[in-house]
């Protein structure tokens, strides 16, 4: 599903996609946004580390840095 979202976003002209997972994988209902490892495997990098969690970003269209 994540791969499809990234593909669709790129086709629609988006430069990047962001995700907001928690730092720790606690496997609770509050982890509905996914875990760090899933995003890392999909090519996301940590853009910002906040107290509650992470901001992860995947660049979709090369040559654009934001």
The one-digit pLDDT tens for each residue of the chain (66 residues) are 899 999 999 999 999 999 988 777 665 655 566 788 899 999 999 999 988 789 999 999 875 554
Placement of tokens 């760090």 in the chain: 36
Which residues sit opposite 46 in a β-bridge? 56
Q: Give the residues across from 59 on adjacent strands.
A: 16
Question: What confidence score (pLDDT) does residue 46 get?
Answer: 96
Task: Give me the DSSP letters along the chain.
Answer: -HHHHHHHHHHTT-SEEEE--BSS---SGGGTT-BHHHHHHTT-EEEEE-SSBEEEEEE-STT---
């Amino acid at each position: 599903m994540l791969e499809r979202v990234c593909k669709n976003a790129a086709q629609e002209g988006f430069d990047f996609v962001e995700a907001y997972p928690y730092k720790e994988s606690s496997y609770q209902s509050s982890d509905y946004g996914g875990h760090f490892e899933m995003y890392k495997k999909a090519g996301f990098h940590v853009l910002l580390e906040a107290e509650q969690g992470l901001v992860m970003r995947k660049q979709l269209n090369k040559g654009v840095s934001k």
